[in-house]
Amino acid sequence: MNDDRDLIFSNIRKALEPLPERAPYPEWDAEMPICREHPEFAERWDLYAYKLQQVNGTPLRGLKALGEWLVAAGQTFGYCDPKLVDEVRAEPAFAGITLETEFDRARVDEYLFGITLASGAIAETGTVILKDKETSARLGALAPWTHVAILRPERLLASTAEAIASLGDDPSVIWATGPSKTADVEGILIEGVHGPGTQICCLV
Amino acid sequence: MTPTKTQQSIDKFARDIDAEVHDSVWGGAKKTSEARYAALERDFPETADKLRETAGKIKQHTLENLDKYLAQAEASLQANGAQVHFARDGDRANEIILDIMKQAGATRMVKAKSMVSEETELAHFLEKNGMSCVETDLGEFIVQIDHDHPSHIVKPIIHKNRRQIAKSFEREGLGEYDDDPETICRRARKFLRDKFLHADVGLTGANFVSAESGRLTIVTNEGNARFCMAANRVHIAIVGIEKLVPTDRDLGLLLNLIGRSGTGQQLTVYSQFIKGPRTEGQPHGPEEMHVVFVDNKRTEVLATNCRDILRCIRCGACLNVCPVYRQASGHAYRSVYPGPVGAVLSPLLAGSRFPELADLPKASSLCGACNEVCPVNIPIPDLLLRLRDKAKREGAKKASAGTPGMGMYALLASQPTAWRGAMSMGKAMNMTPPAVMNIVPAAAAWQSARQLPPWRGGKFRSWMKTRKHAHDA
């Protein structure tokens, strides 16, 4: 075991030793990887909503819109982060919807949706950011067919570069850009492979 | 086409390939290449090449300082509460993983996609040792139930169509024959969901590792890597030592590149940044995290003049754009890594078995498309030439199949009189029927798909002579 470590390091040094010089780290501007600008969107949220729709995600504004969307989709039973549940239940549009605040693994396929907090979002890519410390249950955000990320407006970031800078010390940060998908079968797009088939980001 | 002795192995694959497989591979590769161009045009119009070049320099810098960055990554991961292991080769990596499972009292593994685990044949090894190991990427799952091999780095079943998949599902008891792609996916979701929920261990690879923070970056579209870190107690990541980048900031650049290069997406659906076991208070996810850094001949490659190939981020863009890959499919490369990257990497990783794969660097017209699309700007055509040279020097027989001997040419080209004689004799070829010329095997191989143009040799020399006289006059 330790032999392997020593062997690998010694082989690396031996391999690099004959090099007359080592390639330097290139200088590069943090702005460089930022994608094409979209001046047609006045507000950051509008760009975000456009980008999320491009990857077949669903942007919604306000809990009323969310409640109506879930009722219309017939999704009236789901999981909700205990820290968000009072705020969600207070919205009259959720009157016919049952929320559970404990995710029961034995009934994993009964939850039609899961509502958790978005630690952030990225406007230029339509991405939702989920940090482990702010996600009440990993399975609640992953297993149900519909995942709803509740986004506070001040947490909407402009670019992936900003999002990288804000990774912090969380052990597990997930960027989710649209619903789970595959094109393994003949290149045909199918959504909802293992993760959510519907990805909603709701601005509250 | 009639078979000839002198054809290269890859030509034989291309000749004998099933028509359905050919159409699947050709169409799939072309479609993905086009998606890549569309993503470029849409999202990265001005900076596209600058991004590739910068990413290439970052990876090259990392490789040439690998001792420093590998030690830094190890320290960072340990500080985050992860356990770090080192494996000199594939066998050692497999043993380490088996040992981790035994110590954790684990018997069931769910596994996300990892090319290095294909190198070590991890799944076979674990099953031989009494563990269950289920591939959870849809394509890899189908490869596993078919006892097949992936034929593409990103799209492992690019060579299969829906009818073949539906038959496999029927055979495995996943339902009656139904070749609707949506039905196929739903059945896989249901079957694998149960595996995820009952697994002890989730195994993933890593696309990038930041030395600064120890963060493993793992990208998937299906969400299976997320599920390999949700319901199970232990997470193991198997990672080639070349996957490092110096800082988190570099991750942002490379993530922008890998999505569009691999599948034409601005970002892959899930990008995960994992640097340790689950956080306190989180009810789900692994309490234990292990990272196994694998050499498996990478340090040997680092010592060669082809070390640039270790920049590769396994996006598959060079496969999709390659005219040879499109015709021959991935299995023609007879190794874990197909396509242009495989033509360089596979013979190098083969070690003493280099001669068996020495023909792969020749399976290229050196058109350069692979270099043009490469997100880390690897000069693949240059590396192919270096490997052709190596094969020639080492006298690898496979490298000379289909190539006429150049000894005669060298003799003629260095003797003006002999050259003039050969030029005038060349005219005799115009009067020789092609069938007679086919006595020479190389000529037969060449003529089997092409027509020899009429000989016009010597024209330049006579033109030059006339021109010189005109000048003097």
The residues, any chain, with a CB within 8 Å of residue A7's CB and separated by 6 or more, are: B88, B295
Q: Across chain A, what does the average pLDDT equal?
A: 95
pLDDT greater than 60 at residue A197? yes
Q: Which domains does chain B have, with CATH numbers?
A: 9-29+308-400 (1.10.1060.10), 50-296 (3.40.50.10420), 417-472 (no CATH)
CA distance B7 to chain A (A): 31
pLDDT greater than 90 at residue A37? no
Q: Which residue has the higher pLDDT, A35 or A112?
A: A112
Asked if A194 lies within 8 A of B222 by C-beta distance, the reply is: yes
CATH class of A41-203: alpha beta
Predicted local distance difference test score (pLDDT) of residue B95 = 98
Predicted local distance difference test score (pLDDT) of residue B360 = 95
pLDDT greater than 60 at residue B24? yes
A202 contacts A93 by C-beta, under 8 angstroms: no
Give the three-class secondary structure for A100.
Answer: strand
Pairing of strands A198-203, A146-151: parallel
* B311 in reach of chain A (CB within 8 A): no
Residue positions counted in chain A: 204
Q: Convert the pLDDT of each residue in B67-121 to its tens digit.
A: 999 999 999 999 999 999 999 999 999 999 999 999 999 999 999 999 999 999 9
Task: Point out the residue among B86, B181, B276 whose CB comes nearest to the CB of A5.
Answer: B86
* A158 in reach of chain B (CB within 8 A): no
A134-144: average pLDDT: 97
Asked if A12 lies within 8 A of B182 by C-beta distance, the reply is: no
Strand partners of residue B293: B86, B239
Strand partners of residue A182: A190
CA atoms of B313 and B208, how far apart (whole Å): 8
Q: Across chain B, what does the average pLDDT equal?
A: 92
Please state, as a whole number, how many other Cβ atoms lie within 10 Å of the Cβ of residue A16: 19
pLDDT greater than 90 at residue A79? yes
- List the single range of B12-16, B304-308, B331-335, B399-403 with lowest mean pLDDT: B399-403
Predicted local distance difference test score (pLDDT) of residue B451 = 79
- DSSP letter, residue B354: G
Predicted local distance difference test score (pLDDT) of residue B1 = 41
Q: Which residues in A lie closer than 8 A to residue B24 (C-beta atoms)?
A: 186
Q: How many CB pairs under 8 A join A and B?
A: 254
Instruction: Tell me which residue has tokens 């709803």.
Output: A148
B207 contacts A123 by C-beta, under 8 angstroms: no
Strand partners of residue A198: A146
Strand partners of residue B134: B110
Q: Which residues in B lie closer than 8 A to residue A11 (C-beta atoms)?
A: 295, 299-300, 302-303
- List the single range of A18-32, A167-181, B308-322, B437-451 with lowest mean pLDDT: B437-451
Predicted local distance difference test score (pLDDT) of residue A1 = 53
Q: Where are the domains of chain A?
A: 41-203
* B156 in reach of chain A (CB within 8 A): yes
pLDDT greater than 80 at residue B443? no
* A106 in reach of chain B (CB within 8 A): no
DSSP string, B308-319: GGGG-----HHH
Predicted local distance difference test score (pLDDT) of residue B39 = 86
Predicted local distance difference test score (pLDDT) of residue B422 = 82
Predicted local distance difference test score (pLDDT) of residue B3 = 44
* B30 in reach of chain A (CB within 8 A): no
Q: Convert the pLDDT of each residue in B130-145 to its tens digit.
A: 999 999 999 999 999 9
CA atoms of A177 and B221, how far apart (whole Å): 9
Asked if A26 lies within 8 A of B58 by C-beta distance, the reply is: yes
pLDDT greater than 90 at residue B390? yes
Strand partners of residue B290: B83, B236
Among B267, B268, B292, which would you mutate to test the A interface (most chain A Cβ atoms within 10 Å of its Cβ)? B267
Instruction: Tell me which residue has tokens 């809990």.
Output: A63
Pairing of strands A127-131, A120-122: antiparallel
B308-326: average pLDDT: 96
Predicted local distance difference test score (pLDDT) of residue B427 = 78
Q: Convert the pLDDT of each residue in B166-191 to its tens digit.
A: 999 999 999 999 999 999 999 999 99
Closest to B321 (Cα-Cα) out of B348, B337, B344, B341? B341
Do the interacting molecules here have an ipTM over 0.95?
A: yes
pLDDT greater than 60 at residue B126? yes
Predicted local distance difference test score (pLDDT) of residue B472 = 65
B341-353: average pLDDT: 96
Q: Which residue has the higher pLDDT, B411 or A173?
A: A173
pLDDT greater than 60 at residue B5? no
Asked if B270 lies within 8 A of A28 by C-beta distance, the reply is: no
